[in-house]
Amino acid sequence: MKVNLMHGAGGAVFSDLLGKTLTKYKNNNAGGIGLESLDDGAVIPFGDKNIVFTTDSHVVRPLFFPGGDIGRISVCGTANDLSMMGGKPIALSCGMIIEEGFDIDILEKIVASMDEALLECGASLVTGDTKVLEKGAIDGIAINTAGIGIVEKPVRDNGLKPGDVIIVSGTIGDHGLCIMTTREGFDLGEQIRSDVAPVWELVKSAMDAGEIHAMKDPTRGGFSNAINEMAEKSGVQVRINEETLPIRNSVRSASELLGINPLDVANEGKVVMGVSADDAEAILKAIKKNKYGKDAAIIGRVTEGKSVIMETSIGGERFIEAPVGDPVPRVC
Amino acid sequence: MKVNLMHGAGGAVFSDLLGKTLTKYKNNNAGGIGLESLDDGAVIPFGDKNIVFTTDSHVVRPLFFPGGDIGRISVCGTANDLSMMGGKPIALSCGMIIEEGFDIDILEKIVASMDEALLECGASLVTGDTKVLEKGAIDGIAINTAGIGIVEKPVRDNGLKPGDVIIVSGTIGDHGLCIMTTREGFDLGEQIRSDVAPVWELVKSAMDAGEIHAMKDPTRGGFSNAINEMAEKSGVQVRINEETLPIRNSVRSASELLGINPLDVANEGKVVMGVSADDAEAILKAIKKNKYGKDAAIIGRVTEGKSVIMETSIGGERFIEAPVGDPVPRVC
Ligand SMILES: Nc1ncnc2c1ncn2[C@@H]1O[C@H](COP(=O)(O)OP(=O)(O)OP(=O)(O)O)[C@@H](O)[C@H]1O
Ligand SMILES: Nc1ncnc2c1ncn2[C@@H]1O[C@H](COP(=O)(O)OP(=O)(O)OP(=O)(O)O)[C@@H](O)[C@H]1O
Ligand SMILES: [Mg+2]
Ligand SMILES: [Mg+2]
Ligand SMILES: [Mg+2]
Ligand SMILES: [Mg+2]
Ligand SMILES: [Mg+2]
Ligand SMILES: [Mg+2]
């Protein structure tokens, strides 16, 4: 069998490759939360605290897009997976693979953008590696970052409980539709901007405001993929109220034009969380104070059962399913 | 200006790109040894111990070669950079970038080889990421690993002191000449095998046996590059005794045939260290007990001054210079 594009698109087909091949390691756990959990990061006990450890590679096209660039996404992507475990981002590594002939001016711009994002994250880039491949062996540049964070009490993606409330930290679908419309050269009157941003401060204020039972960043495969993973791993049903889902008008128009569901595409500065009902208002209020949380909303609730159900505006119901894979290739 | 192949070959030209572009981060240190040191890894104080953190990407061709494969090298490369800081390897991340159409059977073999190497290292692979690129956008597969280790007292690459003795843990040039002869299809009677191996146990026994002042793994740019970096960063001269340098006959023959200096090519299971003269014999003895240290030798000494000098067998002297870049493309 051969690897196909959907194997790298973060959806159901990818899960299959993961389960059958990529997670066959017997040496998969360093004492805490390991690869077996398939969470946003791993956790390793260290003294009386825990190290969080995660990685993402970035191959987004174009390299620069409205609202961000491959450098910003490389820093935020990894810092956000640390944050999803409740971990404060501390240090990042950077492995660059560059095509012969790549412009050093562009490389400098990418480094400057990474540095700016690092400052915002409060993390440092402390180690790296560079490989240059012959012309044609890699398309431009690929950037891997790994990250280390610190957490006292890790947050998982599988802790949803019946009675919990689902919160999303802002509008859905911005990054994926930004990449798609930029690539296609669409003019929608209003420019759709990527939401790529570090969410640690937002997550921290939410953790300080109440009890978070489960958390995930809706990246490849979008909100649909993240919420399905959370529901399935937690062994619960999630019911989403369609009317409360924050989606920009421009994103909605673009998604209709392109035939792409905004719930299925990557976000790069958002969080989906399940919180105890008692704390929901306090947590929402804390999130809304953050500059990346202004459009946060309570969008659903957790019940006994399985699957993710959309309660539509006209009183109907339908399943929200994890997409086969993110519909936007090279989205991050 | 454009990136060229030598920019990724770990030698003098790469150092230039590093200094001018890749290490311009202002956010470059998380409290201990950061990017500014350009050592094999970074060190971050944590409680009463230290975390070591490092990364390498791997793009070696062919994927499988005598003595190893891209999986084994991906695990050992990162585990060895941790070891060079005195750090016990604990956990690794794995970021794979795969070309559409890549054979899943081969992927399975790579994963199995990584797992075997992890077992030997005593480390676990705890987190990962997978991107699949359209056909032609990446040549086959590239594997990034980052690693976390633990150390009480870090070892640097810049601690050589006049009077120190230089030890190498085994034969020089095996990996680079293995890749080159395999690629060219040379038949030298005897097959040259890569030395790719994890050196943590060897390093630990050396640290237990005496005082190590500086340590580096002679990977891209080989022994020449590593020893020059150590000498320059330490502000000392190093004098190497040519007769004592362990080089296999097959490697010597191949290097003459190909016009490649075996001192300039990558090794993947070796250590170069500077140790206090009083402890040299004890450390050498400890290293020789390890299965990867049988050919270890004392090969030189440290004096006041600068540069690296080869004292030749016939009583002459010449400089050992850092190569412009490793002469073998895609060696690791
Ligand atoms: N090549 C791989 N080797 C080992 N584990 C992997 C690999 N690829 C992915 N994983 C693991 O699979 C799980 C899902 O990975 P995925 O990359 O989809 O998560 P994510 O980083 O949260 O999402 P995204 O990459 O879209 O930001 C994670 O637990 C990750 O550690
Ligand atoms: N893209 C990068 N960004 C930041 N730092 C980098 C980058 N590439 C290399 N470095 C830093 O430059 C120094 C030299 O890197 P290099 O990869 O040559 O070291 P190494 O891993 O010990 O050698 P090798 O890669 O041949 O095994 C290291 O300190 C590394 O952290
Ligand atoms: Mg995630
Ligand atoms: Mg991620
Ligand atoms: Mg390196
Ligand atoms: Mg090294
Ligand atoms: Mg290395
Ligand atoms: Mg990922």
* Partner-chain residue, chosen from B95, B104, B126, that has the shortest CB–CB distance to A1: B104
- Determine which helix (DSSP H) or strand (DSSP E) holds A146, and give its type and residue range: strand A141-151
With a CB cutoff of 8 Å and minimum separation 6, the contacts of B200 are: B79, B80, B82, B83, B88, B89, B121, B122
Are A100 and B101 in contact, with CB atoms under 8 Å apart?
A: no
Query: Could you list the residue range(s) of the whole structural domain that residue B276 is in?
Result: 165-319
Order of strands across the sheet with B297-303? B212-216, B272-275, B165-168, B297-303, B237-241, B308-311, B317-319
Domain annotation covers residue A160: no
Helix (H), strand (E), coil (C) string for B284-320: HHHHHHCCCCCCCEEEEEEECCCCEEEECCCCCEEEC
Q: Which residue has the higher pLDDT, A37 or B19?
A: A37
Q: Please state the separation of Cα B217 from the chain's center in Å.
A: 3
Whether A109 maps to a domain, the answer reads yes
pLDDT tier, A190 (very low <50, low <70, confident <90, very high otherwise): confident
A16 and A121 assigned to the same domain: no
pLDDT computed for residue B168 by the predictor: 99
Distances (CA, A) of A151 to A52, A97, B121: 7, 31, 26
Cβ-proximal residues to A315 (8 Å cutoff; 6+ apart), any chain: none
Q: What is the pLDDT of residues A197-246, one digit of tens each?
A: 999 999 999 999 999 999 999 999 999 999 999 999 999 999 999 999 99
Considering the domain boundaries, does residue B332 fall inside one?
no
**Are the Cβ atoms of A144 and B129 closer than 8 angstroms?**
yes
CA-CA distances (angstroms) from residue A21 to B68, B97, B252? Answer: 20, 15, 40
Q: Regarding beta strands A64-65 and A68-69, do their DSSP bridges make them parallel or antiparallel, or are they unpaired?
A: antiparallel
Q: For position A76, which CATH number holds?
A: 3.30.1330.10
**Contact between residue A221 and residue A308 where contact means Cβ atoms under 8 Å apart:** no
Task: Provide the token pair at A328.
Answer: 């936007």
- pLDDT (average), residues A259-286: 98
Q: Write the pLDDT tens digit of every residue in B100-116.
A: 999 999 999 999 999 99
Q: B57 and A96 in contact by Cβ < 8 A?
A: yes
Check whether residue B55 and residue B144 sit in a common domain. yes
A98–B contact, CB cutoff 8 A: yes
Alpha helices in chain B (DSSP H): 12-17, 70-84, 104-121, 174-184, 200-209, 222-234, 249-258, 280-289
For residue B20, give every residue at least 6 positions away whose Cβ sits within 8 Å of its Cβ, in sequence order, or none: none
- Determine whether A291 is exposed, middle or buried from the number of CB atoms within 10 Å of its CB (0-12, 13-18, 19+): exposed
Neighbours of ion ligand 6 (CB under 5 A): B 40, 81, 217
Confidence of residue A12 (pLDDT cuts 50, 70, 90): confident
Q: Helix, strand or coil for residue A107? A: helix
Task: Using DSSP, state whether A166 is helix, strand or coil.
Answer: strand
Residue B116 lies in a domain: yes
pLDDT value of position A191? 87
A48 lies in some domain:
yes
Residue-level pLDDT at B185: 87
* Nearest-CA residue for atom 26 of ligand 1: A220
| Residue B118 contacts A where some CB pair is shorter than 8 Å | yes
How many domains does chain B contain in total? 3
Say what the pLDDT of residue B186 is. Answer: 79
Closest approach atom of ligand 1 to CA A39: 29
The four Cα atoms A245, A248, A253, A255 give a dihedral, to 10 degrees, of: -60
Assess whether B4 and B34 both reside in one domain: yes
Chain-centroid distance of CA A319 in Å reads 22
* Chain-chain contact of A107 with B21 (C-beta, under 8 angstroms): yes
- Of A297, A280, A299, A159, which Cα lies nearest the Cα of A239? A299
Mean pLDDT of A141-145: 98
Q: What is the pLDDT of residue B69?
A: 98
Max Cα-Cα span within chain B: 58
Query: What string of DSSP letters covers A249-313?
Result: HHHHHHHHHHT--GGGS--SS--EEEE-GGGHHHHHHHHHHSTT-TT-EEEEEEESSSSEEEE-T
Same domain, B115 and B47: yes
| Same domain? A88 vs A213 | no
Non-local (6+) Cβ contacts of B194 within 8 A are B65, B66, B67, B68, B73, B174, B175, B178, B179, B268, B269
Residue A36 has pLDDT above 90, yes or no: yes
- The predicted structure's pLDDT at residue B189: 72
Q: Does any domain span residue A49?
A: yes
The verdict on B171 and B303 lying in the same domain is yes
- Residue to mutate among B93, B108, B152, with most A CBs inside 10 A, is B93
**For residues B113 and A18, is the Cβ–Cβ distance under 8 A?**
no
Determine the 3-state secondary structure of B254 from DSSP: helix
The verdict on B75 and B23 lying in the same domain is no
Q: Are residues B28 and B48 in the same domain?
A: no
- Per-position DSSP letters for B72-100, written without gaps between them: HHHHHHHHHHHHHTTPEEEEEEEEEEEET
Residues of chain B with pLDDT under 70: none
Question: What are the angstrom distances between the C-alpha of B201 and each of B79, B228, B279?
Answer: 11, 25, 18
Same-domain check for residues B195 and B289: yes
Are residue B227 and residue B302 in the same domain, yes or no? yes
Residue B158 lies in a domain: no
Cβ neighbours of B91 in A, within 8 Å: 30, 42, 44, 53
Mean per-residue pLDDT of chain A:
96
Report pLDDT for A96.
98
The structure tokens 């899943």 sit at B104
The answer to whether the beta carbons of residues A220 and A326 sit under 8 Å apart is yes
**B90 domain residue, yes or no:** yes
Contact B8 A118 (CB under 8 A): no
Residues B254 and B180 in one domain: yes
Among A56-65, A179-188, B22-31, B145-154, which is the least confidently predicted range?
A179-188
Q: Which of A151, A181, A200 represents a domain boundary (last residue)? A: A151
State the pairing for strand pair B88-99/B124-133.
parallel
The CATH number given to whatever domain includes residue A214 is 3.90.650.10
Q: CA-CA distance, B299 to A159, in Å (whole number)?
A: 58
Same domain, residue pair A179 and A132: no
- Residue B56's DSSP bridge partners are B145
**Separation CA B79–CA B73 (nearest Å):** 10
- Identify the pLDDT of residue B313: 86
